[in-house]
Each structure stands twice: as structure tokens, then as C-alpha cells.
Amino acid sequence: MTPSVRLQEMIRVIRSARTQGEERGIIQKECADIRAQFRQGDNGERSHSLAKLLYVHMLGYPAHFGQMECVRLIASPRYSEKRIGYLGAMMLLDEKQDASLLITNSIKNDLSHSSQYVQSLALCTLACMGSAEMCRDLAPEIERLLRASNSYIKKKATLCAVHIIRKVPELAELFTPSARSLLSEKNHGVLHGAVVLITELCEHNPDTLDQFRKAVPELVQIMKGLVTSSYSPEHNVAGISDPFLQVRILRLLRILGHNNDTASDAMNDLLAQVATNTDSSKTAGSAVLYETVLTIMDINSESGLRVLAVNILGRFLLNNDRNIRKKNTLFSTYCTLLFLLYAPPSGFYCSRALELSLALVSAVNIRSMMKELLIFLSTCPPELRSQTTSGIFNAAERYSPSKRWHIDTILHVLTTAGGDVRDETVPNLIQLITTASELHCYTVHKLYRALVKDISQQPLVQVACWCIGEYGDLLLKGECEEIEPVQVTEDDVLDALETVLQSHMSSPATRGFALTATMKLSTRITDNVDRIRSIVSIYGSCIDLELQQRAVEYNALFKKYDHMRAAVLERMPVMDKNSPGHTNGDTSGENKEPDPSKPKPVEAGLLSEPASQVCDLLDLLGGTDTPLQPNPAPTSTPTTTSSADLLDLLGGLDVQLQMKAPSGNVIPAHGLGQVTQTVVLNNPNKASLPCLFLCSCLSH
């Protein structure tokens, strides 16, 4: 039986195994025979034994004992053994294996071999599994082969150079001169490798961009030759001349023309020619057109060219061929985004494109889509900002890959367009932050930096103040693994909050957040409590009634109930995500029809008390002729509805009162819902409580 038939026979026997156990038995027997062949030394059967072992490896069985045999065969003078040895090295070795270092000298010798096929084996192996050390040692040899006269060697050397640059970026300068000269080659394989090499050089070293921008005219001529060339059976794919090379050239032109008027002008005519002359009825033509559109949109192209690109995108979206319309899961998404970002200025079309873009967001493309939507948000027309922010929030809520990504996305929106977000954005973000306990340190550091940098975006400032009040101790520690920590002192934090309180840009709601945060810091810092007491007392006479009421209550905590201050100002409990008021920007349920299967609610008038009785009950808070004011912002204190008069009802008893977070901050009209709040009384001495006090608690 000949050796080749022996390999075929082994494959046949393995495939005929009826059970996995039978297959394992056959593999074990064959592996034992292969080991015996390896131990016999040079008997002419080693290469065939290694070939059988590689098939065993392809089936998923251990084949590590053949690594050293690969090294021996690579050093063999016979081409048949070298070929199997190099193939085994690419399959069984990687840069983490010590045995890979043993073939460095053999590869170096074979790179200078007289046979192009032996040189090719060495180049392929180095490009496949060469480690950083091997790349450093053999880089001069690869650069020498780039200047060889043999096109077969050149095209493999260029791809090997790409691998070296990816492994050792500092060696990129070694290949820059040779890469430019490769563009004069006629062989398509060499040209393809040269374009890939230049692309890699430009992406790893921006300094080389200026050098290769001088080569734009050459690339344009090569591309024109491909577009206008006659039929060539060697390179033709569905009527398109070498679409692989065309796509690579278009990607390189996109890099070279980005933010450069000269390079962009040099390729405008070419892009128009490709866009108009390429047949889009086949997949190959659609791929070329797709890259053409991306290039047009990314360079400083003419307005007429952009209109042409938009028309091409429209044809893609309307194409009935699913292979073209949805070539991959992001194809239609990117088309729509490009239309959104670069269409002619028309509010109607831009708004419809935005709606379509948001509809195409999914868990698969959320990161890439959100990146483009955030870019659009920074430049979109003012009338579309509210729609864009709401769409971004809804998409992030549905498809966020992680809580940190979700928080970062919302903070980015608040930084860019904080004035255009809905009112519920602040409580929704606060709810999200409270549930991400592992990110409290990261969030408070990031928000503090944003607060110090800019206080013009009111929603962002409100969330920042809330976080500083809740997690100020984490900020002062200066220890955070997720972000580079900054050394922040107590005075720094209080200075930032005072800036918010005194700024003319701060709304009353924002000042309320800042004052509450300042008060909460009184239990989280040690050296500046007197300064906090002074800040709070100043606002006890503020003309804004909401701010004045807060300051008066906080002063009462300092004076009469200082022993309760730590308990009252402790961290907020985790908020219920599904409670009323947390809509995440979704207003679709605001006007829902009542479910007919449920009993109708009793009319609100039947349950309401006479107005005089309600006023008498509320008068227990201290009595005032001032009408009740709606709270413009949620505060971070669990006892935000308590007043000094309510606390005074305790009458000096050793009783502690804690009011848990309410189930929501919106009471639906017409008795269609309710908001509950738990009051916890700690009465260790079992003292009797005044009835008036209990009624006051119920009134809250």
C-alpha cells in the first residue's frame, strides 16, 4: 500500500466509525503508529506520518507531540518534507510555543533559497505565525524581497510585511520606501498586496499620510484602468474587473482624502466615474459602489458627488435582492446613517431618515449606530435635537450592552445637548446610577469632572450634584479602577457646589440639587461641616420659596436634630425602575385606554374629602397662607417632605424617623393610580406617640 493510499485509508476508516468511542480507538491506534514512525528517525515516512497527524489535529484530537517533527522536516533539504513541515508549523505552532523559535534560522535560510517555492513556504509561515521576536529578526530579509524581480515572491512578501507591521509597529518605517515603488507593478497580486501594505502603514503611523498622499494620482490611474479596461478572464468577476483590488483602492483613497482638500479634489472625477459606470445588478458591482459611497462621504467631496452617493444609497434600500439590500446586518443601517448625516439640507427628509435610522437599531449594531447618532447630534439642526435625544435614550434603554456604556451614552448626550432632553431624563439617569453599585465611584468621578468643566447644561449639573451628594466620600477617596482618579479635596467639592448655587445660569431646580448635595456632604466629610452650615444658613432667607424651605429644614437638622442628621442624610435606597414617573422617555403610555377586563376605578370625587378638611390636615405642617408649590426637582434626601414643624411633633422623645423613597414622583389624575411611601419609626423605649404626630405622618 503506497503512503498516499495509507492516508486515504486512515481517513476512510475513521469516517466509517459508527460511534465516537470507536473513532477514539482508531485515532489512538493511529497516533501510536505515528509516534513509532517518529522515533525511527529518517526512514522516508516521516512526512507521511506528519500528514496523518495533521488530519488527526483537524478532527480536534491532541497532536502536540508532532511539533518537534515539524522543526526537523523544515530543516530537511527535500522540498516534499519542507512543505509538510511548514504546513505543520502553521497548524501546530504559534508564537507562544518555544518550538517556534527553533525554526527562525531555517526560515531565514529558506528566504534566500534559490527556489521561489521554498521562499514562498517560508514567507507564508512567517506571515501566519511569526512572533514579534521572529519579525524583528527577519524584517530586513522581507524588505529585501520586496525589491525582488519575481512577482510571485513580491506579492507574498508584501503580505508578510503587513503581518510584521501589525506585530511590531515601530518597524513600519523600514517598509515605507519599498511600498511606494510597488504601485508601479502590473501584476494584480502585487498591486493588491501593495495597497494593503500602504493602508496598514497609514493606519499605524499618521505621519506617513503626507508621503502617500503624493501617490493619489497613481492610485487614481490604477483605478481608472480597472474601470475602463476590457474583458480580462483572469480578473473578471461577474463583469467587474478585479472588484477585490477596486475595493482595496477605494478604502485607501478614503483614508488619504479624509480632511485633505488637495487629495479629495484629485479623486472626485474618478469617484464620479466609478459611481456612474459600475453595474449594480451583481453583488460584485454593489460592493464596489458601496465602498465608493463610503469614500465620497468621508472625503471633502463636491456637493454634486454627495447627491449622487445619496441616490445610490436610495437604490440599495429599494433593491429587491436581499443579498444586495442586506449584504450584512449593518449594510442598510450604514446606508441610512450616511443619508441622515450627509443628505441635502431638508428638514423633512432628514427627520424621516432619523426615524428610519432609529428603527434599524438593534442589539447587534447598537455600538456602531450609537457612535454615528452621537456624531449627528453634535451637528444636527436645532429642531431635530429633541427627537434625536429621545431616540438615543430609548435605543440605549432597550439595547445597552452594559450599564457603564448606558451611563456614558446618556452623559454624552447631556454634555452635547442637555437643554434639549425631556424632563424625566434626570430621574431616569439617577435611577440607573443607583442600580449600578459597582460604577458609583466611576460615575461620581466622571460627573465631577464634567461639573468643573461646564455648568451650562442644567440636566447634567443636576445629576452631577446628586451624585456628589450621594457618593462624595468615594470622590474624596481618590481611588477608582475604572477611570484615572483625581485628587479632590473637600474644599474643591464645596467650591464646585457653591459655584452652581451662585451662578446665574442655574435654574431653581438646579440650585435645589446643589443645596441638597451640600447638606448630604455634611455626613460624608469631616473638616468642613461649619462651612456647610454657613452655606445652608445663607439660603434660609432666599427669595425662592422652594430653596428657602429646604434651607430652613436643613438648618433645623443642624440645630435641633443633629443626632438624627446622619440617619436622615444616608444614601438613597435603590429606586424601583418600574415605578410611576420613570418612563425613560417613552410617552406612548400616557393616554392609554383603560382595560375593559378590569373594574372601573371609583370616581375621584367620591373618595375626596371636602376642601376645608384637606386644608386643615395640611395645616398640621405649620400653617401658611402660601399655596403649595410643586417640587421642581427630586431631592436626594429620603425625608424631603419632612419639615421642621413635623420633626418638632416628636416633642423631644427618643424616637428616630426614617421615610423610605416613594414609589414614584407623579400621581396620576382622576384617581387612576397611587404613590406609596414607607415610614419607619425606631422607638426603642416604647414611648407613646402623640396622635397629632401620626396624623402628620399620614398627611405626607
Q: For 583-592, which contacts have Cβ atoms below 8 Å and span 24 or more sequence positions?
A: 583/424, 583/428, 584/393, 584/394, 584/397, 584/424, 584/428, 585/390, 585/393, 585/394, 585/397, 585/422, 585/424, 585/425, 585/428, 586/394
* Cα–Cα dist 601/584, whole Å: 27
Residue 645 above 70 pLDDT?
no
CB 357 within 8 A of CB 340: yes
Query: Which residues are bridge partners to 658 per DSSP?
Result: 680
Residue 206 above 70 pLDDT?
yes
Q: What is the mean pLDDT of residues 373-390?
A: 87
Q: Is the pTM of this model over 0.95?
A: no
pLDDT at position 158 is 92
Nearest residue to 255 (alpha-carbon basis) of 291, 280, 305, 302: 291
pLDDT at position 595 is 42
> Could you give the residue ranges of the DSSP H alpha helices within 146-282?
151-167, 172-181, 188-204, 209-213, 216-228, 243-257, 261-277
Confidence band of 87 (pLDDT split at 50, 70, 90): very high
Residue 622 above 50 pLDDT?
no
Residue 176 above 50 pLDDT?
yes
Torsion of CA 142, 144, 145, 146, to 10 degrees: 90
pLDDT at position 358 is 84
Least confident of 8-17, 49-58, 63-72, 629-638: 629-638
64 vs 579, residue with greater confidence: 64
CB 158 within 8 A of CB 149: no
Residue 316 above 80 pLDDT?
no
Question: pLDDT (tens digit, 9 = 90+) per residue, 319-343?
Answer: 676 666 555 434 445 555 555 555 4
75 vs 593, residue with greater confidence: 75
675 vs 696, residue with greater confidence: 675
User: How many beta carbons lie within 10 A of that of residue 345, not counting itself?
Assistant: 7
Question: pLDDT (tens digit, 9 = 90+) per residue, 276-313?
Answer: 888 877 788 888 988 998 888 888 888 788 888 878 87
Helix, strand, coil: what percent of the chain each, to 5? 65, 0, 30
Percent of the chain with pLDDT over 90: 26
φ, ψ for residue 255, nearest 5 deg: -70, -45
Residue 586 above 80 pLDDT?
no
Q: For 594-597, which contacts have Cβ atoms below 8 Å and span 24 or more sequence positions?
A: 594/672
Provide the mean pLDDT of the chain.
79
pLDDT at position 627 is 42
φ, ψ for residue 460, nearest 5 deg: -65, -40
Confidence band of 583 (pLDDT split at 50, 70, 90): very low
pLDDT at position 248 is 93
Q: For 82-86, which contacts have Cβ atoms below 8 Å and span 24 or more sequence positions?
A: 82/110, 82/118, 82/121, 83/121, 84/47, 84/50, 84/51, 84/54, 85/47, 85/50, 86/121, 86/122, 86/124, 86/125
Confidence band of 519 (pLDDT split at 50, 70, 90): very high
CB 339 within 8 A of CB 307: no
Residue 574 above 50 pLDDT?
yes
Quickly tell me which residue has 405642617 as its cell: 621
pLDDT at position 694 is 43
Q: What is the mean pLDDT of residues 547-562?
A: 90
Least confident of 58-72, 110-124, 230-244, 523-537: 230-244
pLDDT at position 589 is 38
Per-residue cell: 693: 404626630
Nearest residue to 696 (alpha-carbon basis) of 627, 630, 643: 643
Q: What is the mean pLDDT of residues 658-680?
A: 77
Cα angle 208, 209, 210; round to 5: 90
Q: What is the mean pLDDT of residues 401-422?
A: 91
477 vs 485, residue with greater confidence: 477
Confidence band of 629 (pLDDT split at 50, 70, 90): very low
Nearest residue to 86 (alpha-carbon basis) of 61, 50, 112: 50
Residue 597 above 50 pLDDT?
no
316 vs 611, residue with greater confidence: 316
Residue 449 above 80 pLDDT?
yes
Radius of gyration of the chain (CA): 36
Q: What is the mean pLDDT of residues 192-217?
A: 88
Residue 576 above 70 pLDDT?
no
Confidence band of 124 (pLDDT split at 50, 70, 90): very high
Q: What is the mean pLDDT of residues 187-199?
A: 91
Q: What is the mean pLDDT of residues 672-694?
A: 68
Residue 610 above 90 pLDDT?
no
CB 107 within 8 A of CB 93: no
Residue 56 above 70 pLDDT?
yes
- Taking each helix axis from N to C end, the angle separating 382-399 and 347-359, rounded to the nearest 10 degrees, works out to 0
DSSP letter string, 32-86 = HHHHHHHHT-SSS-HHHHHHHHHHHHHTT---GGGHHHHHHHHT-S-HHHHHHHH
pLDDT at position 578 is 55
Query: Could you tell me how many helices (H) and strands (E) the chain has, helices first?
Result: 35, 4
Residue 665 above 80 pLDDT?
no
228 vs 630, residue with greater confidence: 228
